[in-house]
Amino acid sequence: MAQANLHIDLDAVVSNWRALDAQSGAATRTAAVVKADSYGLGAGRVAPALYQAGARDFFVALAEEGARLRPHLGEDARIFILGGHMAGDAGFLRDARLIPMLNSAEQAQRHLQAIPESPVGVQLDTGMNRLGMEAAEWQATAPQLMERGIELVMSHLACSDEPEHEMNAKQLAEFKRMTDGMGLNRSLAATGGILLGPDYHFDVTRPGIGLYGGRPFEEARHVATLSLPVIQTRVVQPGETVGYGNTWTAERETKIATLSAGYADGIHRVLSNITALYAGDTACPLRGRVSMDLLTVDVTDLDTVPDTLDLLGPHQGVDTLADLAGTIGYEILTSLGPRYARNYAEPTG
Ligand SMILES: *Cc1c(COP(=O)(O)O)cnc(C)c1O
């Protein structure tokens, strides 16, 4: 089979969730952010594993994602929709019992007109200027919403992966200014915010990337292993070139393995000639350009060429690959395409 294998360690995901949960006090509920199909790893498997482990609050971006998630979770799971209530969402929200994080007075009116009996949350803007109500808008809208009950009020930090950044304290102060004394359940912290400490935890935390083994949760357990099958090998003589554009020339007799996956599978083309794949502990350099469906790898130094080489694994995690590609672990994960066979190791305890 030429289909590459993406192995996802659900025990590691659960253990990362527990470790992040342990960072906050017993009164703080630790949610799980499973938007974009659990950052590409498969919400249909990740979310139930976290539910089993005790997670009851889940966040996705779109109502459609929430509707797809609902059958995988127990009745008592809350599914929050970060995009709020968009036109056309009412049916999904009502039928799948989703909780839109209302981002504007306009969304609030849309909700109250269409499905006033359905629960709501509110997202506030505390300085990121991406989603959420501004202070004046919130002040004007809050009374009407509070009459019906607000499940959760939240905001999002712009710089929480930089603990020293002054923006964190600024947003914390603004969030308090907008919500103190209202008796509402509150949420401010994603993975980075959890690590900023108890001032940022409030009632619910919302980790995403930390569950999946990425920075800034440095102690995270490794989650995703990507193994690519070798289709064929050949010996290339000094002076011969490999791949499109002849960007790599052999300086010695070189054994090249051609592997089955490429930029169509989320292996960024910018990684051409700069990353390595692993055979066990041995790094094998990627030679030449990344093609749509194929990679060419230098396996000269291996005694035997294995059936597969790993692009992601314990020796090279999402952040290492992201650094090489000039991006972030989030983008590496969410780029992993639909062609991989996703295999899961179930939690052990
Ligand atoms: C994506 C997202 C999260 C999760 O962030 P991580 O950095 O992955 O932990 C939390 N809250 C909001 C609003 C988000 O958009």
Q: State both tokens at 343.
A: 């295999």
The answer, yes or no, to whether any atom of ligand 1 lies below 6 A from the CB of 208, is: yes
Q: State both tokens at 330.
A: 């989030």
Let me know: does 191 contact 217? Beta carbons within 8 Å. yes
pLDDT at position 341 over 80: yes
Over the stretch 50-86, which tens digit does the pLDDT of each residue have?
999 999 999 999 999 999 999 999 999 999 999 999 9
The Cα 131–Cα 313 span in angstroms is 35
The answer, yes or no, to whether any atom of ligand 1 lies below 6 A from the CB of 156, is: yes
Is 176 annotated as catalytic?
no
The identity of residue 257, as a single letter, is: A
pLDDT at position 349 over 90: no
What average pLDDT does the structure give for the chain? Answer: 97
Over the stretch 181-202, which tens digit does the pLDDT of each residue have?
999 999 999 999 999 999 999 9
Nearest to 79 by CA among 95, 88, 109: 95
Q: Annotation-wise, does 178 bind a ligand? A: no
Q: State both tokens at 293.
A: 């469906």
The predicted structure's pLDDT at residue 97: 98
pLDDT at position 314 over 80: yes
Average pLDDT over residues 98-123: 98
The predicted structure's pLDDT at residue 14: 98
Average pLDDT over residues 311-335: 97
The answer, yes or no, to whether any atom of ligand 1 lies below 6 A from the CB of 191, is: yes
Report the atom number in ligand 1 closest to the C-alpha of 35: 1
Over the stretch 26-60, which tens digit does the pLDDT of each residue have?
999 999 999 999 999 999 999 999 999 999 999 99
Note the pTM of the prediction, 2 decimals: 0.97
Is 35 annotated as catalytic?
yes
Q: State both tokens at 276.
A: 């390595």
- The partner residues of 312 in beta bridges, in order of sequence, read 226
The answer, yes or no, to whether any atom of ligand 1 lies below 6 A from the CB of 132, is: no
The identity of residue 258, as a single letter, is: T
The identity of residue 115, as a single letter, is: I
The predicted structure's pLDDT at residue 72: 98
Q: How are beta strands 224-236 and 150-154 bridged, if at all?
A: unpaired
Give me the domains of the chain, ranges plus CATH numbers. 10-212 (3.20.20.10), 224-345 (2.40.37.10)
Q: State both tokens at 204.
A: 């619910």
The predicted structure's pLDDT at residue 348: 86
Let me know: does 127 contact 171? Beta carbons within 8 Å. yes
Over the stretch 247-300, which tens digit does the pLDDT of each residue have?
999 999 999 999 999 999 999 999 999 999 999 999 999 999 999 999 999 999
Q: State both tokens at 154.
A: 């939240």
The predicted structure's pLDDT at residue 1: 85
Q: Annotation-wise, does 292 bind a ligand? A: yes
